[in-house]
C-alpha cells in the first residue's frame, strides 16, 4: 500500500501529494561526488544504525533487482538519482512508505516525507523530527553564515525543498498552463515533471517547488509553496467549472470516451493510459463518473508504469506484453 496516496489533505481534487525533502552532509566524510566505496559504506552504517529498526527498513541499492529499483522510483519512494551510483547508495524506508532517508545520493542524506493532498506543514513536522533525531548522533556539515553545506549550490542554506504535485487538466485544455508556468518562475519557483528535474508532465501532473534554499527560513519557504498551491488549485477549480458551463457536451464527451476506452481496452500504452486516466479523474471530481475515486486513480497511475507492471508480474516484459497487462490492470481497477 502506498500510504501517502490517501483521500486526505486539502484540495485533494487538485493536489495529488505534498513532499518535503532535506539535503544534509556529514562533516567527517568527503561529499558523495568524491567519496570512495568503503567511505560510502561507513556513511550508510552511521545513518542506518541510528534509525529505529521497528520503524525503518534498510536497503542497499546494489542488493535490489533492477526492476524493483525502477518500481521504487515510479512509486516516488526513492529518486532516479539514487540509482546512478548503485554500488555506494542505499536508503531507509518507513513501513508505511511515506518516509525515506536516501543515503549517498547527491548528498550523504536526503530526508523525504510524502503525504496526500496539500499537507506541507504536516510533512514538514515529520521531516523536522526525523532530521533532529539524526542530528543528535551525526555531525552535519554546517556553516554559521551559509547554513547547511550541500553538493549543489542551489541546496545551500536550509537544504529544504518543498513541493506539491498538482493535477491541472483544465488549465492544460484552455492553455492557461503556459501563463501559469511563466508566472511561477517569476516568483522564484520551479516547475518539473512527475519524476523531478528533467522529466516531462504526464497526465496533466505538474510538480511545483522552491528553486533556491538559501536566504529564506524553512517556514517562509513552506508558506510560499503552500500559498502558491492554493492559488493554483482555486484557479484550476474555476477553470473546470467554466469549461463545464460553456462546453458541457464536449466536456462530458471527453470524460465518457476516456471511461469507455479504459474500461474496455485490451492493449494500451503508458502515455495513452495516463492521459485518459487524467480525464477520468476530472470526471470523478466533477461528479460525472460514479463508483470510482481519485485515490484509486492516483494509485493506478503508478501501478501501470513499466517497472511496476513487471514487478507485479515477476518477469521482464517487452512493450507489447506490458501494454496487454496494463490494459488488464486498468479494466480490473475501474468500476
| Cα distances (Å, whole numbers) of residue 32 to 36, 154, 276, 288 | 8, 16, 41, 51
DSSP state of 122: H
Say how many CA atoms lie within 13 Å of 209 toward its Cβ.
24
At 48-62, the pLDDT tens digits run: 999 877 789 999 999
pLDDT surpassing 70 at residue 323: yes
DSSP letter string over 178-240? HHHHHHHHHTTEEEEBTTBTT----TTEEEEEES--SSS-HHHHHHHHHHHHHHHHHHHHHHH
Compute the mean pLDDT over every residue in the chain, rounded to the nearest whole number.
Answer: 92
Residues 6+ apart with CB under 8 A from 278: 167, 169, 203, 204, 205
Give the C-alpha separation, 179 to 78, whole Å: 31
Strand order through the sheet with 205-210: 56-60, 90-94, 99-103, 109-116, 15-24, 160-167, 205-210, 189-192
What's the confidence (pLDDT) of residue 5?
65
3-state secondary structure of 143: strand
123-140: average pLDDT: 96
Question: In this structure, are residues 117 and 10 in contact, taking their beta carbons and an 8 Å threshold?
Answer: yes
At 18-33, the pLDDT tens digits run: 999 999 999 999 999 9
Question: In this structure, are residues 255 and 286 in contact, taking their beta carbons and an 8 Å threshold?
Answer: yes
Contacts 24+ apart (CB under 8 A), 69-76: 69/307, 70/306, 70/307, 71/305, 71/307, 71/308, 71/310, 71/311, 73/195, 73/307, 74/195, 74/302, 74/305, 74/306, 74/307, 74/308, 75/2, 75/302, 75/308, 76/17, 76/19, 76/114, 76/195, 76/302
The dihedrals phi and psi of 90, each to the nearest 5 degrees, come to: -165, -175
What's the confidence (pLDDT) of residue 1?
45
| Cα distances (Å, whole numbers) of residue 310 to 196, 269, 324 | 23, 14, 12
**What is the rounded (10 degree) CA torsion for 241, 242, 245, 247?**
-120
State how beta strands 147-148 and 142-143 pair. Answer: antiparallel
Residues 6+ apart with CB under 8 A from 299: 2, 5
**pTM of this structure:** 0.92
Give the C-alpha separation, 175 to 179, whole Å: 8
Task: Identify which of 176, 173, 196 has the alpha carbon closest to the alpha carbon of residue 184.
Answer: 176
Residues in the chain: 335
At 229-243, the pLDDT tens digits run: 999 999 999 999 999
3-state secondary structure of 146: coil
Report the range of poorest mean pLDDT among 44-48, 77-81, 202-206, 305-309. Answer: 202-206
Domains of the chain: 15-237 (3.30.590.10), 247-333 (no CATH)
319-330: average pLDDT: 98
Residues 6+ apart with CB under 8 A from 14: 166, 167, 168, 232, 233, 236, 237
Q: CA triplet 109, 142, 110: central angle to 5 degrees?
A: 15
Amino acid at each position: 500500500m502506498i500510504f501517502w496516496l490517501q483521500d486526505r489533505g486539502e484540495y485533494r481534487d487538485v493536489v495529488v501529494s505534498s513532499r518535503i525533502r532535506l539535503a544534509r552532509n556529514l562533516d567527517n566524510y568527503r561529499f558523495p561526488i568524491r567519496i570512495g566505496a568503503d567511505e560510502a559504506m561507513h556513511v550508510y552504517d552511521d545513518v542506518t544504525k541510528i534509525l529505529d529498526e521497528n520503524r525503518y527498513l534498510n536497503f542497499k541499492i546494489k542488493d535490489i533487482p533492477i526492476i524493483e529499483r525502477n518500481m521504487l522510483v515510479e512509486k516516488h519512494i526513492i529518486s532516479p538519482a539514487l540509482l546512478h551510483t548503485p554500488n555506494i547508495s542505499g536508503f531507509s524506508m518507513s513501513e508505511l512508505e511515506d518516509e525515506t532517508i536516501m543515503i549517498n545520493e547527491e548528498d550523504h542524506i536526503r530526508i523525504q516525507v510524502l503525504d496526500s493532498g496539500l499537507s506541507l506543514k504536516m510533512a514538514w513536522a515529520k521531516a523536522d523530527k526525523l532530521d533532529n533525531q539524526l542530528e543528535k548522533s551525526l555531525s552535519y556539515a554546517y556553516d554559521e553564515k551559509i547554513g547547511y553545506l550541500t553538493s549543489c549550490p542551489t541546496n545551500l542554506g536550509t537544504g529544504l525543498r518543498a513541493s506539491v504535485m498538482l493535477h491541472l487538466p483544465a488549465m492544460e485544455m484552455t492553455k492557461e498552463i503556459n501563463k501559469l508556468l511563466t508566472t511561477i518562475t517569476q516568483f522564484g519557483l520551479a516547475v518539473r515533471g512527475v519524476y523531478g528535474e528533467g522529466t516531462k508532465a504526464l497526465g496533466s501532473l505538474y510538480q511545483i517547488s522552491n528553486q533556491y534554499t538559501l536566504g529564506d527560513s524553512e517556514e517562509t519557504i513552506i508558506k510560499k509553496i503552500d500559498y502558491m498551491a492554493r492559488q493554483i488549485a482555486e484557479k484550476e477549480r474555476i477553470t473546470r467549472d467554466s469549461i463545464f458551463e460553456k462546453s458541457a457536451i464536449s466536456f462530458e464527451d471527453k470524460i465518457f470516451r476516456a471511461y469507455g476506452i479504459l474500461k474496455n481496452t485490451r492493449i494500451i500504452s503508458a502515455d495513452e493510459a495516463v492521459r485518459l486516466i487524467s480525464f477520468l479523474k476530472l470526471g470523478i471530481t466533477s461528479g460525472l463518473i460514479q463508483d470510482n475515486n481519485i485515490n484509486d486513480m492516483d494509485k493506478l497511475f503508478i501501478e501501470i508504469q513499466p517497472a511496476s507492471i513487471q514487478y507485479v508480474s515477476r518477469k521482464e516484459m517487452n512493450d507489447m506484453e506490458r501494454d496487454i497487462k496494463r490494459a488488464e490492470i486498468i479494466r480490473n481497477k475501474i468500476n
